[in-house]
Amino acid sequence: MKQLNAMTDEELAMEYMSGNDYAFDKLLERYKEKVFKYIFSMTKEKSTAEDIFQDVFVRIIVGLREGKYTSKGFFSYWVSTITRNILIDHFRKDRILAADLNNNNDITKMYLPQLTDVSAETTIVNTQVKDSAVKLMNHLPELQREVVYMKYFEDKSFKEIASLTNVSINTSLGRMRYAILNMRRMAKKYNSL
């Protein structure tokens, strides 16, 4: 059996689902800093970020135990989706609370109290753009989706992508080109509705 350090995230997830609790410890070690930094960048409050971070990893544990994760090479995407959904729930709850507290109908205060902060507004717009890209990406053929995910969500070079997918750099570039063309086509179709 492979040592835990040598296992991919997907292998560790499957190992944990098979009952090896140490595999989850290794996953937590790999993801805790990245996930916490992202949550903190969105909330700007350490205690809130810590609470949300705990929720994320509880949901990951429950999801793995209930078999909701299937190994398709996208464990980091699954973690990102869980994190994003919990953050959305958090901000929705804040929005409802803000709406109850503010009798005036200032939509910026009702949506997010931090919206007046330029960097928070930019973060929200970037998140919305990324969410739209993910929706389009999910409709791509698997090989194209894989390249887009590795390039834009894992920040890998085309050389790394080629190595990880066992294809040439030109093949990786070609898949990206077709993925972008397909996403543009889908975006036009979506906007025309």
Over residues 22-41, mean pLDDT: 91
Closest CA to 186 of 148, 151, 139: 139
DSSP SS3 for 14: helix
Q: For 51-84, what is each residue's pLDDT tens digit?
A: 899 989 988 988 888 888 877 768 888 898 889 8
Q: Does pTM surpass 0.85?
A: no
Q: Side chain identity at 5, as an amino acid letter?
A: N
Q: Using the structure block, give the residue that is written with the tokens 């109850």.
A: 100
